Amino acid sequence: MLRSVMAFGVVLVLGLSSRASGGDINVIPQPVAVERADGAFRVTPSTRIVAQGAAAVEAKKLAAALAPAMGFVLEPTTSSKPGERAIEMRLDDSLSTLGAEGYELRVTPEQVAIVAAQPAGLFYGIQTLRQLLPAAVLRPTRVDDVAWDVPCVRITDHPRFGWRGLLIDPARHFIAKDDVLRFLDVMALHKFNRLQIHLTDNEGWRIEIKKYPQLTELGSQMDWNLRHRDGTGPRCFGFYTQDDIRQIVQYAADRHITIVPEIEMPFHAGAEIVAYPELGIAPDRLASLEPQKRWRETSGLVAPRPQTVIFFQDVLTEVMELFPSRHIHIGGDEANIELWTNDPEMQAQMKRLQLKDAHGLHSWFIAQMDAFLSSHGRRLVGWDEILQGGLAPGVTVMSWRGEQGGIAAANAGHDVVMAPTSHTYFDYYQGPAASEPLAIGGNLPLAQVYSYDPVPEAIAPDRVRHVLGVQGQLWGEFIATPAHRYYMAYPRAAALAEIGWSAREAKDYEQFVSRLRHHLERLRVLGITFRPLD
């Protein structure tokens, strides 16, 4: 008998922790609507996955995800016999009202059906199905004596926001390709769909650019140490070849995650100035130094002369060839532009361009990148400092210095991704510093993350559509290992996933924590280091 019923479109979301045969339902992020029923569908070696066309591609992903722990492969097929118990995966245009990422999941004792308008929806239905099964199904090796039961349920689900992201930072401490791929796997389980990779900064250049080989020959080789209290730590040399990038991009795409590359400019550019001193202020002085000495002499700020513009546009050309993402992030933050004000060459540049001050020169430089990306059908993304001096209509603002930049940008008609330090900086401590791994500072406990709403009241109702979503940041100055990275990310990223996906009106922290206690067992089975709940 059905426990509770809800039609799609009603704002209230049912609690998901009540008992039914087949066990608790503790899905993260919380689905929009749930109907519960008694009974369960038992997955056995004879169970088939029925799918055709594009749905069959997603069906293979389900079979591959479940096979290692189950000890058998659910055989994909294009049809089933009458009365045969099967998992059906199907695309249906009538569900277009749920959007490209929405889905319906129906489980009866006789059948599991995942239906969506687009393949991404089927993929997210798979992630929910994985969470309905016992946590042991996530193990990478066979588990004996486990009944693979799926509780009977009907779920109608779709995300609140189209941008649900995390950021990782191999520029500060390089992250091996295989570690990036595993990070993507865990993201997919939580229905994230954007991974921003901070590829360049003062501490390192991490992407191969064919036209400028010294970017990786020199720019990836800084002797940068993790700032432990005793001054020791691992070195972080390394970069991604273009083949590495292609593999990461494809691996992410298979999981319906878009990789958003970030190439920092005009500040946070020390690694490229070391490699090509002609990009910097006072280039003759820099060029006279040995490369290792340039690390300490460069200000990290490029000089926006015409040749510098050409250099970065050349870089972005190769970046666009590697990353199909519509959005390309160029940083634009924290520029110490007073150095331009005090430099005779840059003073002359401002005069030639008829610019009032260094703020105008910063805006001029950003505008060159925006026009270039726009001419290639891409959209520039930058941190909220790019608002100074005005922006072209297609630019997307990532608001990190609180919400004011995002509010101003959205009200001015610009797309916005909310990423404020107050709620989304996962490089902050999660508790008392003395009992936590070394972090950059701050304090961001789980409850504070969960409390966040990415749509501030100060955004006009007709401009709310410009809020694309939300993103959590894992800046890497103090994060040198995968275990540390996961510890800083989870369970805070689980809270952020729910903010990005689930209905605002359904938020209930105590109920979330109740589901999270079960969800952490999944992370434990996956071998993911996480901070225990208080």
Catalytic residues: 201, 268, 334
Going by C-alpha positions, the residue among 131, 30, 249, 165 that lies closest to residue 493 is 165
Count other Cβ atoms within 10 Å, centred on residue 345.
13
Angstrom distance (rounded) from CA 492 to CA 210:
38
Length in residues, the chain: 534
Q: How many CA atoms lie within 13 A of 416 on its CB side?
A: 30
* Burial class, 421, CB count within 10 angstroms (exposed 0-12 / middle 13-18 / buried 19+): middle
The CB-based long-range contact list for 220-226 (8 Å cut-off, 24+ gap) reads 220/174, 220/271, 222/271, 222/274, 222/295, 223/292, 224/172, 224/173, 226/173, 226/477, 226/478, 226/480
Query: Is residue 29 reached through a cis peptide bond, with omega within 30 degrees of 0 on the bond before it?
Result: yes
Angstrom distance (rounded) from CA 37 to CA 531:
34
* CB-CB contact of 17 with 515 (8 Å): yes
DSSP 8-state class, residue 42: E
Count other Cβ atoms within 10 Å, centred on residue 534.
9
Strand partners, 261: 197
